[in-house]
Chains A and B, each alone.
Chain A
Amino acid sequence: MKLLKRIYGWIDDRVEMHAIIKKEILDKPVPKGLNLSFCFGGITFFLFLMLAATGYFMALYYVPSPEQAYNSVDYISNEISMGRLVRSVHHWSANLMMVAIFLHSIRVFIYGAYKKPRELNWITGVLLLLLVLAFGFTGYLLPWDQKAYWATKVGTSIMGTVPVVGQYILRITRGGEELGALTLVRFYALHVMFLPLATACLLAGHFFMIRKRGVSTSL
């Protein structure tokens, strides 16, 4: 303990962040006029952290190939200790995140908290909502079972019904005409590489702006 304190102290002597963290985060007073409906944003972020933690670790076992995807998921769920728990936490966090992010958006809408000077919070928030939907859509394919396959078949076919550009969107999403290995691996790459990075960047902006402009509490 004493050693940890000394190491922490040594680092903080140089970066001088402790006082700022204490003032701006740990000892920051909660604004007046808040109620429990203001928790949904934080709940969404907490669920995002749960999804990141469980997702990172499931990547130790999952293989994004048509031959192995289902078997590796089955292996996670049925062969590895804590595997079912880790995968279930990912599954339920994903479901609850949809609920939480919609409740958060509705609350912001009702309070009119998107108005000037908080438009950037609304814009990054809408983009984050779209990213969460993309996470859900790409993640749904990864177990490569019947439900995953046909849900993605239907989902990508819907993209194909967009006038004029539909067929281009469909082909780029599937990586070709047919749903297959190329689709699976690009959905995996989106799910674990591209979307998390984009989400982290937008979240940073979202949080920075809420600190900058403060929470809107007037109704």
Chain B
Amino acid sequence: MSNEPGLDRRKFMEIGIYAISGTMAVLSGAVLTRFTIGPSFNRQRPKWVGVELEERADRRGRFERVVLEYETKDGWLNKQAKTLAYVQRKENDEVIAISAGCTHLGCIVTWDEDRQIFKCPCHDGKYDAQGNVLSGPPPAPLKRHPVRTEGGKIYLRTDTVPFGDDTSETA
């Protein structure tokens, strides 16, 4: 094909048609691909959410279920996001907040006070009281929310939730 001398009219037109329609296809494909990706990689801005802990001496060193509620955007909807954390104030006043999102596939773990472990109902992942994996499929320890205390009030940052927030979790 290429070693034929010259470029006849038919071949020239054929190449021209393929070039024009190819350019149109590539351009529209690029536009529609970007349109499809849309907001998929947008990140929610992390927020500091104030939480209340019971101020009783016997609650010290014990986990309390805390539901973080905060405003977020779900596409064009304003959503009240809810996510669960286990928070405890230690004897030395240090506060730790463990996210309840299982690091395996995002189910909500529950705290077993008697056995002092976190259990995931979906695939039987187990974590100790520090959030370290004891058994089961979880690939990493439970995430911790960054904690800030200001004037006796506790604030947790929302950006550590694996697999997104879980609005089906009710308080």
B31 contacts the other chain (CB 8 A): yes
Q: Does the CB pair A61–B31 fall under 8 Å? A: no
When chains A and B are docked, how far (Å) is the Cα of A81 from the Cα of B31?
9
B28 contacts the other chain (CB 8 A): yes
Give the interface size class of chain A: 10 to 19
Q: Does the CB pair B75–A72 fall under 8 Å? A: yes
- Interface mask (A39-82 → B, CB under 8 Å = 1, otherwise 0): 00000000000000110010011000000100110110001111
Q: Does the CB pair B38–A60 fall under 8 Å? A: yes
Q: Interface SS of chain B: helix, strand, loop or mixed?
A: helix
A181 contacts the other chain (CB 8 A): no
B39 contacts the other chain (CB 8 A): yes
Which residue of chain A lies nearest to B42 when distances are taken between CB atoms in the complex? A79
Q: Does the CB pair A61–B38 fall under 8 Å? A: yes
B45 contacts the other chain (CB 8 A): no
When chains A and B are docked, how far (Å) is the Cα of A61 from the Cα of B36?
9
Name the contact of A74 in the complex, choosing from B31, B76, B77 (C-beta under 8 A): B76
Known: A71-B76, A72-B76. A82 touches B28 (CB 8 A): no
Q: Does the CB pair B31–A82 fall under 8 Å? A: yes
Q: Does the CB pair A57–B28 fall under 8 Å? A: no
Which residue of chain A lies nearest to B30 when distances are taken between CB atoms in the complex? A82
Name the contact of B34 in the complex, choosing from A61, A79, A82 (C-beta under 8 A): A82
B134 contacts the other chain (CB 8 A): no
B35 contacts the other chain (CB 8 A): yes
Nearest-neighbour CB distance to chain A for B31, whole angstroms, equals 5
Which residue of chain A lies nearest to B38 when distances are taken between CB atoms in the complex? A80
- Interface mask (B34-53 → A, CB under 8 Å = 1, otherwise 0): 11111100000000000000
Residues of A within 8 A of B (CB): 53-54, 57, 60-61, 68, 71-72, 74-75, 79-83, 85-86
What are 24 pairs between A and B in contact, CB < 8 Å?
A53-B32, A57-B32, A57-B35, A57-B36, A60-B35, A60-B36, A60-B38, A61-B38, A71-B76, A72-B75, A72-B76, A75-B75, A79-B76, A80-B35, A80-B39, A81-B34, A81-B35, A81-B38, A82-B32, A83-B38, A85-B35, A86-B31, A86-B32, A86-B35
Closest 8 CB pairs of A and B: A71-B76, A75-B76, A82-B35, A80-B38, A82-B34, A82-B31, A86-B35, A57-B32
